[in-house]
């Protein structure tokens, strides 16, 4: 063989398939870097997993944190100081009045009858 480089070039069809693999498909690497469709897919996958998924996960974390803060605020500030706290204070201050009130209309009517009878008796004897 007088011209091995020419023979190799013709045998490999001018290296068109190798060039196509390196530049367009990315099945072969150039210095450890993939070009072409596979390289673009790898780059987009890294961008998606790092940036896009990171943003989504960060948003989810912030939502959970905001929900925790909102729940804590509602439980300890709103419920205690604005709802349950005044209710407890009112219950404690109204305890003496509740001991005198039974909630039965018949008892209130009987007490009024005794009161009217007592007033009539008091002013009748005078």
Q: At residue 116, does pLDDT exceed 90? A: yes
Tell me if 42 sits within 8 A of 27, measured CB to CB: no
The end-to-end CA distance of the chain, in Å, is 153
Q: At residue 44, does pLDDT exceed 80? A: yes
Beta bridge partners of 29: 34
Q: Cα separations (Å) of 46 from 2, 23, 28, 40?
A: 50, 20, 19, 10
Q: What is the pTM of this model?
A: 0.48
Spatial distance between the Cα atoms of 21 and 18, rounded to a whole number of angstroms = 5
Residue ranges per structural domain of the chain? 4-93
Question: Which tens digit of pLDDT belongs to each residue from 89-101?
Answer: 999 998 888 777 7
For 13, which DSSP code? Answer: G
Spatial distance between the Cα atoms of 58 and 50, rounded to a whole number of angstroms = 11
Spatial distance between the Cα atoms of 35 and 45, rounded to a whole number of angstroms = 14
Q: At residue 58, does pLDDT exceed 80? A: yes
């Amino acid at each position: 063989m007088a011209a091995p480089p020419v023979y190799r070039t013709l045998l490999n069809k001018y290296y068109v398939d190798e060039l196509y693999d390196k530049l367009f498909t990315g099945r072969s690497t150039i210095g450890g870097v993939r070009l072409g469709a596979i390289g673009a897919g790898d780059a987009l996958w890294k961008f998606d997993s790092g940036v896009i998924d990171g943003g989504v996960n960060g948003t989810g974390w912030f939502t959970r944190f905001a929900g925790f803060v909102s729940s804590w605020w509602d439980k300890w500030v709103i419920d205690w100081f604005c709802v349950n706290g005044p209710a407890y204070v009112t219950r404690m201050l109204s305890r003496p009045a509740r001991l005198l009130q039974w909630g039965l209309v018949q008892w209130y009517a009987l007490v009024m009858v005794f009161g009217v009878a007592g007033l009539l008796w008091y002013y009748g004897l005078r």
